[in-house]
Amino acid sequence: MTAIDIKWFPPSWFQIESRDKIIYIDPAYLKKYYTNYPKKIEFYSWPDPIDGLPEKDLERADIILVTHHHKDHCKSVTVNRLRKKRTSVIAPKRCLKELGKNITVIEAGEEVAIDKVRIRAVEAYNREKSDKTKAAHKKGIGLGYVIYIEGKSIYHAGDTYLIPEMEDIDYTAKSLS
């Protein structure tokens, strides 16, 4: 079995690297989170003050997943800098405005397969009445993802709290034929 490396870039960006795939979840460079980061490259400060990458020579993506449309999760300049010609970008419908039409729109309960990677979109939201947040993530807008890769399952919950739908998520790693 091959190792899978997972790297976190604050506040919400992940890189998943397997034997032959690079996957990013919510790549959205926000300058304020990288002021003291030792390896960063900023492309320019105007007109977009948050255009950059957290590391030089960051690998280009095979798959990019976006959980929802907020700018700390969905940023076209970052997605485009990580994209290759054949990169699959998967996101909910509200991301079309920021990312353009060259993406695969997905809803909770739907699944896509890319080569030997299977991705299932699941619900992600905040409950209406919470003492921790105003309901900034309403049901039906954002997503989480279960990624089935190399015999393993990786669950990225998205921007959510514990919600009843989490009990029904199938984490069983299933191989693709």
Q: What is the distance between the alpha carbons of residues 93 and 91, in angstroms, rounded to a whole number?
A: 7
For residue 26, give the nearest of 86, 89, 84 by alpha carbon: 89
**Residue 94: which residues within 8 A CB-CB, separation 6 or more?**
68, 69, 141
- Domain for residue 158, yes or no? yes
Residue 177's pLDDT band (cuts 50, 70, 90): very low
Residue 176 structure tokens? 């693709």
Longest dimension (CA), the chain: 47
Residue 173's pLDDT band (cuts 50, 70, 90): low
- Domain for residue 173, yes or no? no
- If you average pLDDT over residues 38-45, what whole number do you get? 79
SS3 43: strand
- Domain for residue 108, yes or no? yes
Domains contained in the chain, number: 1
Residue 48's pLDDT band (cuts 50, 70, 90): low
Q: What pLDDT is recorded for position 45?
A: 65
Range of the domain at 143: 5-168
- Domain for residue 174, yes or no? no
pLDDT in tens, 51-61: 788 888 889 99
- Domain for residue 175, yes or no? no
- Domain for residue 177, yes or no? no
- Domain for residue 91, yes or no? yes
Q: What is the CATH number of the domain that holds 14?
A: 3.60.15.10
